[in-house]
Amino acid sequence: MNTQQLIAEAVSLPVEERALVVDSLLRSLNQPESEIDKKWVAIAQQRLGELRTGTVVAVTGAEVFDKIWKTFGK
């Protein structure tokens, strides 16, 4: 099977299976680094905890971009 045939076969898959193929291919190109991943997990858990305890308040994306536009202009 050549590359074009492989792509044609992949494109014909249901969307969930295509997503799995894409994810698998990307992971093969960008191998995870366990130390970096551990640090990101720790940060994500810390931030989730802050949200759950009310230490920080979530801001919508729209609010963030509105503030950026007001600060830096359009």
pLDDT single digits (tens) 24-72: 998 899 777 788 888 999 999 999 999 999 999 999 999 999 999 999 9
Whole-structure pTM value: 0.47
Q: What single DSSP character describes residue 14?
A: -
Tokens of 46: 């810390």
Say what the pLDDT of residue 74 is. Answer: 65
